[in-house]
Amino acid sequence: MAQAMIISVDVMGGDHGPSVVIPGCDLLLSRRPDVRFALFGDEAVVRPLLDKHPRVREASTFTHCEVTVGMDEKPSQALRHGRRTSSMWKAIEVVKRGEANVAVSAGNTGALMAMSKICLRGLAGIERPAIAAIWPTLRAESIVLDVGATVGADAQQLMDFAVMGGAMARALFQVESPTIGLLNIGVEEMKGNEEVRAAGQLLRESNLPNLTYMGFVEGDDIGQGKVDVIVTEGFAGNIALKTAEGTARQVGAYLRAAMSRTLFARIGYLFARTAFQRLRDKMDPRKLNGGVFLGLNGIIIKSHGGTDAEGFASALDLGFDMVRNDLMAKINADLSVYHRGRLGVANVEP
Amino acid sequence: MAQAMIISVDVMGGDHGPSVVIPGCDLLLSRRPDVRFALFGDEAVVRPLLDKHPRVREASTFTHCEVTVGMDEKPSQALRHGRRTSSMWKAIEVVKRGEANVAVSAGNTGALMAMSKICLRGLAGIERPAIAAIWPTLRAESIVLDVGATVGADAQQLMDFAVMGGAMARALFQVESPTIGLLNIGVEEMKGNEEVRAAGQLLRESNLPNLTYMGFVEGDDIGQGKVDVIVTEGFAGNIALKTAEGTARQVGAYLRAAMSRTLFARIGYLFARTAFQRLRDKMDPRKLNGGVFLGLNGIIIKSHGGTDAEGFASALDLGFDMVRNDLMAKINADLSVYHRGRLGVANVEP
């Protein structure tokens, strides 16, 4: 793009707030010097940090905000005192006004989603939003959605998620017709609950040019990279994501315990330390940090609240990729093909 | 027990059938020489194997069955041609008649559950059965139920699962008042779906003497061993279980790739091979093989279909433990306390 990309940032979000977010912005600038930031936060905390990171200061506009949304606030509370005034709201609002291309926050997920819905509003024809996570697999990476925005999504909502997840896969993986699977407890047609079975039928019958529907997939297929996009309702998706994170940490703990137990094991560890470093890099949760809110009039990226500067930079990077690869245009294009198909308009056009 | 324990076995179940099941029985006898088996299967295949494993032959009765339930059959199909005639049905039936203490099958889960429900019938006061899995954790082991029997369990059914899972934890872990958590997508009271929130309220208000309710737990809490028993509806539970299995395999594949990549890593591997062996043992899915069907008038153990003799012996071992520690008596005792509490009878007794 000719114009610089502008990423708006809720500097106050996350467990560590500005002390992680500003260094994270600095890291992104070292990789992508042309990016510009619109920063929102409490100037008493943010100004001194900008003085320590002059590169960020030069590349940013800064807006002081009186209000910070707490990490434990309920969405309703956050809206009551933070609507229009908080750093979170203002970071979203500039996306709505077209003054930034994407917003990134490490703040409270529920509040961020509630404010995003009210400020940006839903895309035409999409009933409910989804949060899409990027999942490391043995093949490469897959997209899993929804991981917690829409508990109890029905068949039509799951179908919407498939279309939006497909558009995101086209943006992220540069494939023309990404493969899609519906998460279920078996691969046979009669398995699972009514919503999943009905969504399977919708996907089979939809015949969308930009999607390759592969049927049901099971929990252990996600990490094998069986499909590009895994579609699921938010309750099961959130549990799958957190269970996978917990299992990876658990195996890491077993490995550390085993490698420090005997002298021979410790010697072996020294010989193989480059290999262990590769493994750590491969499993580093900071590398794939960031959930993408889909189904709204604008792109919002949610960073893990507890991440460090490296992790926050990954979330910024994800936002950068989504803008550079035209996520919103791809979603809108795919939705319009899908909705034309549903209305049968495609068949009656001259 | 004074009398020998009798384990009934569907010899035809599983991907490999008798060639895995009979050697599995032999392995169990090497550890528990007093066990006796009631074997059911096709004599043309089973007899020659019994001749190769005389210890099993001596410790068993064998009943020829004309019909074998296929691994891919729908439950309705299996019932149509296998009811009263198949090795699966007959293995269950002797539990009903009191001629065996527990039945073990590596056959088709859906068919095994359908036959178990029809043959044994549900426990009084329990609407739906659950399958309980034993989950390795950083602390020790936990019980997770339901992992696939009852999709869309409601609050009352989740409450029943909590009582039965608690009884199983008392039998398996020898704790007086096991800790229980409800699987959810957050720990705050307003999180999740209606059923989970209502089940949380039932558990808080129930005040059962044999349960310590700890509130909601998330997917990553399971592997940390935060509670003894994790209660969930069958769809999310099955997805959590398979996602964890898939993630463990994925990390194992990363580790193997890293350790074989350079000469130094391979030398390191040689030094640390005892440590790696410990890790493999720790993560060996055969060690904790077997789902326990709860909520029926009898104990049925479902072994993984694809396991080997070692894995099948673990499933037999689990059945042995459940009988020796009086699982059925503990479930009945806990259910009766629970139902008395619900009816308020406890308060009006003299």
DSSP string computed for B101-165: SEEEE-S-HHHHHHHHHHHH-BPTT--S-EEEEEEE-SSSEEEEE-SSSSTT--HHHHHHHHHHH
Average pLDDT over residues B133-137: 93
The domain A1-126+295-325 having CATH identifier 3.40.718.10: the answer here is yes
Interface touch B185/A148, C-beta < 8 Å:
yes
* Three-state DSSP class for residue B74: coil
Cis peptide before B10 (omega within 30 of 0): no
Name the nearest CA neighbour of A315 among A1, A58, A4, A8. A8
Evaluate if residue B343 carries a pLDDT over 80.
Answer: no
Name the nearest CA neighbour of B89 among B40, B37, B17, B19. B40
Nearest to A185 among B193, B238, B276 (CB): B238
pLDDT band (50, 70, 90) for residue B160 = very high
Evaluate if residue B348 carries a pLDDT over 80.
Answer: no
pLDDT above 90 coverage of chain A, percent: 77
Q: Quote the mean pLDDT of chain A.
A: 92
Q: Identify all chain B residues contacting A265, using CB atoms and an 8 Å cutoff.
A: 271-272, 274-275
Chain centre to alpha carbon of residue B322: 10
pLDDT in tens, B88-97: 999 999 999 9
Average pLDDT over residues B27-46: 97
Evaluate if residue B105 carries a pLDDT over 80.
Answer: yes
Q: In the prediction, which pLDDT does B350 show?
A: 39
Q: In the prediction, which pLDDT does A147 show?
A: 95
* Three-state DSSP class for residue A15: coil
Chain centre to alpha carbon of residue B98: 21
pLDDT in tens, B271-313: 888 888 887 887 787 888 889 999 999 999 999 999 999 999 9
What kind and span of H or E run contains A195?
helix A194-206
Q: In the prediction, which pLDDT does A287 show?
A: 80
Q: Identify all chain A residues contacting B265, using CB atoms and an 8 Å cutoff.
A: 271-272, 274-275
Name the nearest CA neighbour of B290 among B120, B131, B128, B162. B131
Q: If you write DSSP's letter for every residue of A293-308 in order, what string do you get? A: EESBSS-EEEPPTT--
Strands A300-302 and A291-294: antiparallel
pLDDT in tens, A34-84: 999 999 999 999 999 999 999 999 999 999 999 999 999 999 999 999 999
| Interface mutation target, options A146, A188, A271, chain B, most CBs of B under 10 Å | A271
pLDDT in tens, A106-121: 999 999 999 999 999 9
Nearest to B271 among A148, A221, A271 (CB): A271
pLDDT band (50, 70, 90) for residue A156 = very high
pLDDT band (50, 70, 90) for residue B344 = low
Q: In the prediction, which pLDDT does A348 show?
A: 41
Read off the tokens for A18: 């500005």
CA distance A10 to A87: 5
Q: How many residues does chain A have?
A: 350
Q: Quote the mean pLDDT of chain B.
A: 92
* Three-state DSSP class for residue A349: coil
pLDDT band (50, 70, 90) for residue A286 = confident
Backbone dihedral angles phi then psi of residue B56, each to the nearest 5 degrees: -70, -45
Cis peptide before A146 (omega within 30 of 0): yes
Read off the tokens for B185: 């997508």
Domain ranges of chain A: 1-126+295-325, 128-292
Q: In the prediction, which pLDDT does B339 show?
A: 87
CA distance A29 to A9: 14
For residue B110, the distance in angstroms to the closest alpha carbon of chain A comes to 10
Q: Identify all chain B residues contacting A245, using CB atoms and an 8 Å cutoff.
A: 219-220
Whether B127-294 and B1-124+297-325 are alike in CATH topology: the answer is yes
Q: What is the pTM of this model?
A: 0.92
Q: In the prediction, which pLDDT does B261 show?
A: 81
Q: How far is CA B237 from CA A12, A158, B71, in A?
A: 36, 20, 22
Please give the CATH topology (third level) of the domain spanning A128-292. Isopropylmalate Dehydrogenase (3.40.718)
Average pLDDT over residues B125-133: 93
Interface touch B138/A190, C-beta < 8 Å:
no
Read off the tokens for A241: 């994501």
Please give the CATH topology (third level) of the domain spanning B127-294. Isopropylmalate Dehydrogenase (3.40.718)
Q: In the prediction, which pLDDT does A344 show?
A: 60
Average pLDDT over residues B229-234: 97
What's the CATH superfamily of B1-124+297-325? Answer: Isopropylmalate Dehydrogenase (3.40.718.10)
Give yes or no for a contact between B251 and B165, defined as CB atoms under 8 angstroms apart.
no
pLDDT in tens, A218-253: 999 999 999 999 999 999 999 999 999 999 988 888
Average pLDDT over residues B129-146: 94
Give yes or no for a contact between A112 and A119, defined as CB atoms under 8 angstroms apart.
no
Average pLDDT over residues A154-161: 96
Q: Which residues contact A213 (CB under 8 A, 6 or more apart)?
A: A162, A179, A180, A181, A203, A204, A206
Q: In the prediction, which pLDDT does B347 show?
A: 44
